[in-house]
Structure 1
Amino acid sequence: MTTTEPVPAPAPSAAPTAPAPATRPSIPGLAEVDVRVADGVSLHAAVGGSGTPVLLLHGFPQTHLMWRSVAADLVADHAVVAADLRGYGASSAPPEDGPGTYSARTMGRDAVALMRELGHDRFALVGHDRGGLVGVRAALDHPEVVTHLGVLDVLPTLDSWEVLQGRSAAVAFHLYLMAQPPGLPEALVAGAPDAFFGHFLDAWGDGSAWLPDDVRAEYLRASRERVTSVVADFRASAGVDADDDRADRDAGRRLTMPVGVLQQHWGGALGFDPVARWAAWAPDLDHRLTRAGHFMAETAPGEVVALVRGLLAR
């Protein structure tokens, strides 16, 4: 297990909302496909390259486009799949029919089905934020399938809820808002979706004008059209996902594959040790800290590529 010294994150800066582009941006060199993963559910993905397969799962409030710079590097010698999660981007957004519809366990099964349909029975998985939580669940549930796990800037679901406390937890107000029963959070978010989702794009960056206008517009458009399913995802995180993590913790289950984590030192503000939290789940851990802000795959893709390539070499 390795780690680096903690570093402070710079102050964020605001960026204006841009109009939607005439054509939607894409990842150069990758082909876009829609793959059926369950009854009535298809995932949208960008695929390309050959070699060891790597699945890339995005965070909030993004789509698979967040991987555009990382994928451009990895596609040289890997079969790269960058997918929109269920309920996000251009993937299916089925109606919420109980807590399992948007649980991390369900999304983990989606990921396994997607890769199997694309011809990959075993694969590495790298997830950011929400995609990282899906990655952890997929790796716990399918250790025979997920060979390596990379996670960007998030703790496992149960740990996230356990460390949020006091005034510093206000940074995660959206977790508490979207955890509420159906109706109120959807109405509130849908009342000003660009302001809501744009807040996180502005506040969680690296302090620079980091996001191209066309990509920002696409993130806002995609999120605006998926308010109900995005809220359902977060609601599951506060309920069934945390319960599933607790059951695994109580049973002594661990991540048996090599795990690489790159995150900001937000443990300093919230008073916890991120390395200890991760090591409790992942005995074979490479933990690194960054000053690149939350959206590190876009603000510092070289750091992310280095983490992923180091992970795949283990």
Structure 2
Amino acid sequence: MNIKGFTNRRVYVEDGVSLNAAVGGSGAPIVLLHGFPQTHLMWRHVAAGLAADHTVICPDLRGYGASSKPAAVSPDTYSKRTMAADIVALARELGHDRFALVGHDRGALVAFRAAMDHPAVVTHLGSLDVLPTLDMWDVMRGTSAAVGFHLYLMAQPPGLPERMITVSADEFFGYFLDLWVNDPAAIPGEVRSEYLAACRAAVPSIVADYRASPGIDVEHDRADRDAGRTLAMPVTVLQQDWGAALGFDAAGLWRAWAPDLRHVPVSCGHFMAEEAPAEVVKAVRELVTRPATRPAAP
């Protein structure tokens, strides 16, 4: 399946690694990063809504969909820093030195790292239904951590997680597609089949992405926090009210990273770009109208 009106591009971002990206529209660029267990198709409604006056770029992340899936030869292969550098290189190859960036779930973690590492490139940051990696691991404790069992499973050393997931891939990935959606019709059968097929073919790289989170990704976040670094650009966060249910203040955690924050509670399920695309489009349009920081002088 393709996003209607968009062209799929294959773009090399480093030696041996290329990203598949759907590109459409014209105007100021917005890059949209998908979450788990999905591909760039999750943006099909939002991308069409934004393409009327923006160039919209929807890549499959490294390790997902039709993008390259390099072997995890080191923890850095699937660090969010590496995956963020992919996105900056992708945009540059498509002719964009600065762009707004919006991510969902895993894509939001990549977007967060891109904004921290490349503040002169990312003009605006949008995050859908996730906490920064360091905060996520800090709040997952006690019985509340049961909701994130997959985080702990895929954090284990290479071998067992990959084998366990591979033998029941459709059941494993399908479980989250069922659990995290309020309106099952938002993910029709043909889209669900595409997601499952893509995940089935990417088990080692998906696990490597998750395995990086409690290790190298937390190290990068902690180094930024210890140095007092914050997000320099306007930030909008759309989030379910799961923070209250688990006993933490999601808006407060985000505000510690983002001085220019708008935190917007939503009532739909986790897959909000598919369940409430008009609400997401509205929030992104509002985000990109806010004054952006200018890149630092060389």
Q: Is the 8 A contact 2:102 2:127 kept in 1?
A: yes
CA shift, 1:211, in A, is 0.9
The DSSP-based 3-state class of the residue aligned with 1:100 is: helix
2:150 aligned partner, one-letter code:
H
Higher relative contact order (CA 8 A, sep 6+): 1
**Deviation at residue 168 of structure 1 after TM alignment:** 1.9
SS at match of 1:48: strand
Q: Is this contact kept in 1: 2:6–2:23, CA < 8 A?
A: yes
1:71 is aligned, of 44, 47, 52, to 47
**2:176 equivalent to 1:206:** no
Give, in whole Å, the separation in 1 of the partners of 2:141 and 2:182.
Answer: 24
Corresponding residue for residue 165 of structure 1: 141
What is the distance in 1 between the residues matched to 2:214 and 2:261? 26
- What is residue 238 of structure 1 aligned with on the other side? 214
Shift in alpha-carbon separation, 1:219–1:77, aligned structure 2, 3 A: same
Spell out, residue by residue over 1:94-123, the C-alpha distance to the aligned partner (whole angstroms, 9 max, x if none): 000110000000000000000000000000
State the AA in 2 paired with 1:110: D
Q: Is the 8 A contact 1:206 1:291 kept in 2?
A: no
Deviation at 1:210, TM superposition (A): 2.3
Unaligned runs of 5+ in 1: 1-24
Contact 1:102 1:232 (8 Å CA) reproduced: yes
Partner of 1:254: 230
Asked if the contact 2:178/2:184 (under 8 Å) is kept, the reply is no
- The answer to whether 1:296 aligns with 2:272 is yes
Match of 2:282 in 1: 306
Compute the displacement of 1:147 (Å). 0.2
- Displacement after TM superposition at 1:207 (Å): 4.3
Tell me which stretches of 4 or more aligned residues in structure 1 moved more than 2 Å: 207-210
Aligned partner of residue 151 in structure 1, secondary structure = strand
Question: Secondary structure at 2:4's aligned position in 1?
Answer: coil
8 Å Cα contact 1:124/1:146 also seen in 2: yes
Q: Tell me the CA shift for residue 85 of structure 1.
A: 0.2
Q: CA deviation at 1:250?
A: 0.2
Decide which structure has greater helix share: 2
Aligned partner letter, 1:39: D
Q: Which residue of 2 aligns with 1:154?
A: 130
Unaligned runs of 5+ in 2: 291-298
Aligned residue number for residue 111 of structure 1: 87
Map 1:115-154 to 2 at 5 A: 115-154=91-130
- One-letter amino acid of the structure 2 residue matched with residue 69 of structure 1: H
How many residues align structurally? 290
Could you tell me how far 1:93 is from its partner in structure 2?
A: 0.2
**TM-score normalised by the chain length of structure 2:** 0.96
Q: What CA distance in whole angstroms lies between the structure 2 residues aligned with 1:208 and 1:194? A: 17
- Provide the residue aligned with 1:267 in structure 2: 243
Distance 1:212 1:38 in 2: 35
SS at 1:247 equivalent:
helix
If the length of structure 1 is used for normalisation, what is the TM-score?
A: 0.92
The alpha-carbon deviation at position 208 of structure 1 amounts to 3.8
Cross-structure match for 1:45: 21
2:34 is aligned, of 58, 61, 78, to: 58
Q: Give the % identical residues.
A: 66
C-alpha distance in 1 between matches for 2:105 and 2:18: 21
Task: Tell me the SS of whatever aligns to 2:150.
Answer: helix
